[in-house]
Structure 1
Amino acid sequence: MMKRFSRFLAGTAVIACLAPALVGCGDDGADSGPRTLRYSWWGNAERADLMKQAIALFESKNSDIKVTPSFQEYEAYWQKMATETAGGNAPDVLQMDFSYLREYADRGVLYDLKKQTGDNLVLGDLLPGFQGAGEVDGALYGVPVGGNTWSMYYNPALFTRAGVPAPAVGWTWQDYRDAMEKVTRATGSYGGGNYTGIIYNLEVQLRQRGGQLFTADGKLGFTKEQLTAFWTEGQELIKAKVVLPVDKAVQIKPRSGFVDDLIASELGWDNFLVRYAAETKTPLKLAPVPTDNPGQLGQYLKPAMLLSASSRTKHPEAAARLISFLINDPEVGRIFGGNRGLPATNAQRAAAQLQGPLAEVAAYEKGIADQLTKAPPAPPKGAGTVETAFIRISEELHYGRISVAQAVDRFFAEAEETLS
């Protein structure tokens, strides 16, 4: 009898010792004392100083959570992240690039934040265009911190000299090509850059027609015929001598064609206005992209960066609270301003105190907010390589070294091999 009672006591002691571990599995409430989160991001020393202020503010309002920060420059960050995730040692919260989101989600590295939406993760104040932007196959693996949209830049002074009205909603692609020709003939500056050398201009045209750059299963979302038509359009612009020649464009890199008023217009992400404004003495303006389908600009808010949580974190609730704070708190918006891109929530945009070009970008986005559509699914692994191939092959085409048919065949061969 005593032996059975001793075995019972021993078993009870084992269960008692195991109980805290069992309760603590995915339950932040079992921890004694402050929980510690590792948080990693990419950026420079300036962003690190701002982040330290934001973390200190978070800890002052969440005394039960401590944050251990870590940052590297962009390339070093992803090298470190590849090593840490492969070894099962990912930080609790990590900064995520939209182009890497699907790759890391498919590897099982990221935590589904939908499990924490509500009290721990508040998403109701996200701009409509950012709602669901971090979803992959129905799970939420990232929350946008900020972003931008594809747009048209133009030089109002050159357009006025050519007697061309300012670009506006309703402009067709033919309207844009006609404007480039008039500006070129009247001013001596080229009407624009050759937009067919950039894959995002193909994407926006596809979206205007209800298409997409990549399918949901990670394949090319367009045909050889569609790419042939797009690149033929570019060859016609070269023949008409209304776009900046490729040799000049290559010669001035990494500067844009706005240097010395070489071009009067360009298509690109709207946050490039900060960079472009520093390259020319002539003020630049933003306008919606042209479209042949009224009411369908094809533009969307692309996350500049997102915040994700590790699937291995022991503190999912605390991780969600940190993410929620960093995207929602107005004071955090004031601290960062436009350092992480234009803020993704209304409260932080209102508090960011944006000035100069960034204020212009914010006003522009507000003016077309009702025409921005939902962002496409996160791109497949290899999308960056596909984009690089597009730039390289289109450059060869613009030099006249290969034909349109050869360029199309070469691109599809490389892209399909990469995506497979």
Structure 2
Amino acid sequence: MITGKNQRRAAAAVAVALGGAAALAGCSGSSNSSATELSTDPVTITVTFWGGDARVSSTQEAIDAFEAEYPNITVEPQYTDWNGYWDQLATQTAAGDMPDVVQMDELYLASYGNRGALYDLSNLNIDTTNFDTSAVDLGKVDGTQYAMPIGVGVYAIIANKTLFDQYGIALPDDDTWTWDDYAALADELTEASGGAITGSTQIGGFDAGSVKYWARSEGGELFGEDNTVTLDPQALADMWQFQLDLQASGGMLSASAITESQNAGINAGALATNAVALGTAYNTQITAIQGASGDDFVLLKLPEPEGIHPNSYKPSMYWSISSQTEHPAEAALFVNWLLNSDEAGSIIKTERGVPANNEVRAAITPDLSELDQTAIAYQDSVTPGDAPLVTPNGASSIETILARYTQEVFAGQSAPLDAANAFISELQGEIDAAN
């Protein structure tokens, strides 16, 4: 995840580049027939993405398979790491040289979509039949389909079953438990181990997903229409206070230990080093955590208020199409093939997340690792609520701002409600300044 200075620099570069993007975006909302008519002549399109060697390799294999099926279309890949990706894309967009197909992230979708840099995919031939509506809606900005999710995940409690078994404690019934039950269980784990482990690491305050969950649990949302932060400050304060109380009882890591775990990253944090038995993660992260830990883990549903489904799909990333493309039909064909083809699914598998396409996900599941199958089984067991609105333009630094206030609250430097109001005010100020 990009953070701090690099995140602000990337956001600034996007803003500068997109200031002139609207002038280049005349075809963004086009519905003329040429947008869907494939050429019989040789056509070359470009695709850009971030990622490491495994992603580069699997993407190239998928490109080779696509070109074998459509020999008149050549796909040229461009790739870099996350930190350099957004500067590069912003520069290309400003120069009128944006790649035809773009791997997009939720934090930047509104920035590019609202400034006219992306094609309205509803005007192209992209099949959404096998996608849940709540997944498709993740790619909409102000009702316009600027992106399609490649993969989706859902929030989860991750539990170290090895530690539960070691200390003779039964796993909870995650269909009926409450946050009070969670707190009691965390305390019990600490006590049963004689302090050898702590029951829980932090369960919210460093990622936007946790805030969305608590907001929706109390009947609200993090963001609303018209670039507004609609989060009820009391919902955020309640999330922080729950954790302060659990730290005080000994069921949750101390503030300093939480900061140390966060800084260590997913592969070396408290869950991965077996220092705690409970925490939160996205379902797809179980593979990395168990791989680093060596213990056995299970995924549990978060406590839900009766009649409310606060969980929602989180897009791992999207495919978008540039409004500058000279070949919208071919770009759409490539995106459609990546999203809907079993062949593409069998090549890429879960490298870009659990496929959002239900049929592709089912087709590849038997060939996946046991942990990937666990992540998919958990995802299928969760009833997601409606798709939350996309992060507004200007709010891409939300997790940096959130983490700062969370650390202040945990360190006793700010009262939860005061910090919640300050967080909302600062985040809204960032959005207002960008729009």
Letter in 2 for 1:233: F
The CA distance in 2 between the partners of 1:366 and 1:142, in whole Å, is 23
Counterpart residue number, 1:101: 109
Distance in 2, Cα, partners of 1:28 & 1:342: 29
Residue of structure 1 equivalent to 2:233: 224
Asked whether 1:357 is paired with 2:371, we answer yes
- Residue 131 (str. 1) matches residue 141 (str. 2): no
Query: Which residue does the alignment assign to 2:224?
Result: 215
**1:279 and 2:279 matched:** no
The alignment status of 1:69 with 2:77, answered yes or no, reads yes
Give structure 2 stretches of 5+ with no counterpart: 1-31
2:126 counterpart (118, 121, 127): 121
1:173 to 176, 179, 189: 179
The one of 419, 425, 429 equivalent to 1:413 is 425
Deviation at 1:186, TM superposition (A): 1.1
Shift of 1:279: 2.6
**CA offsets, 1:252-284, max 9 Å, x none?**
422221244211100121111112102322201
Hey, what's the Cα distance between the residues in 2 that align with 1:27 and 1:404? 52
Change (3 A) 1:81 1:286: same
Contact 1:159 1:166 in 2 (8 A): no
2:344 is the counterpart of 1:332: yes
8 A contact 2:119–2:320 mirrored in 1: yes
String of CA shifts for 1:390-416, please: whole Å, max 9, x gaps.
111211221223333542343233222
Cα pair 1:101 1:378 within 8 Å, conserved: yes
On the 8 A contact 1:257/1:263 being kept in 2, the answer is: yes
- Cα distance in 2 for partners of 1:135, 1:61 equals 30
Q: Contact conserved, 1:196 with 1:233, CA < 8 A, in 2?
A: no
Larger mean CA deviation between 24-33 and 51-60 belongs to 24-33
Name the counterpart of 2:11. Answer: none
Distance 2:404 2:84 in 1: 25
Letter in 2 for 1:241: G
1:109-156 CA-partner distances (Å, limit 9, x unpaired): 00001011xxx3111112454132211122111011112111110122
Deviation string 1:267-311 (CA, Å, 9 cap, x unpaired) is 1211111121023222010011112x2242311111101111111
Cα distance between partner residues in 1 of 2:270 and 2:283 = 16
In the alignment, structure 1 segments of 5+ residues that lack a partner are 1-23
- Rounded Cα–Cα distance in structure 2 between residues aligned with 1:89 and 1:271: 34
Amino acid at match of 2:155: W
Q: Name which of 63, 88, 91 aligns with 2:96.
A: 88
Q: Which moved more, 1:196-205 or 1:390-399?
A: 196-205
Contact 1:290 1:297 in 2 (8 A): no
Distance 1:28 1:258 in 2: 49
- Note if 1:264 corresponds to 2:270: no
Question: How many Å separate the matches in 2 of 1:363 and 1:245?
Answer: 33
Shift of 1:162: 4.9
CA distance in 2, matches of 1:214, 1:40: 29
Q: CA deviation at 1:31?
A: 5.2
Mapping for residues 192-341 of structure 1, pairs under 5 Å: 192-198=200-206, 199-252=208-261, 253-254=264-265, 255-291=268-304, 293-341=305-353
1:129 and 1:30 map into 2 onto residues whose CA distance is 30
Match 1:367 to one of 372, 378, 381: 381
3-state SS of the aligned residue for 1:56? helix
- Where do residues 39-58 of structure 1 align in structure 2 (5 Å cutoff)? 39-58=47-66
Matched residue SS, 1:308: strand
Cα distance in 2 for residues equivalent to 1:235 and 1:406? 15
**Secondary structure, aligned partner of 1:205:** helix
Query: Given the two structures, how large is their TM-score scaled by the length of structure 2?
Result: 0.84
Output the aligned Cα RMSD.
Answer: 2.1
The question of 1:149 aligning with 2:154 is answered yes
Alignment correspondent of 2:14: none
Q: Residues 329 and 347 of structure 1 are in contact (CA less than 8 Å); yes or no, is this contact kept in structure 2?
A: no
The secondary structure found in structure 2 opposite 1:396 is: helix
Give SS of 2:396's match: helix
> Is 1:156–1:166's contact at 8 Å kept on the other side of the alignment?
no
Using the alignment, how far apart are the partners of 2:224 and 2:37 within structure 1? Answer: 42
CA distance in 1: counterparts of 2:311 and 2:356, whole angstroms:
16
TM-score (normalised: structure 1): 0.87
Contact between 1:206 and 1:212, CA under 8 Å: does it hold in 2? yes
What percentage of residue pairs aligned between the two structures are identical?
A: 28
Residues of 2 paired with 1:133 and 1:413: CA distance? 25
Deviation of residue 317 (structure 1)? 1.4
Query: What is the CA–CA distance in structure 1 between the aligned matches of 2:135 and 2:182, rounded to whole Å?
Result: 29
Give the secondary-structure state (helix, strand or coil) at the position aligned to 1:286: strand
- After superposing on structure 2, the runs of 4+ consecutive aligned residues of structure 1 that deviate more than 6 Å are none
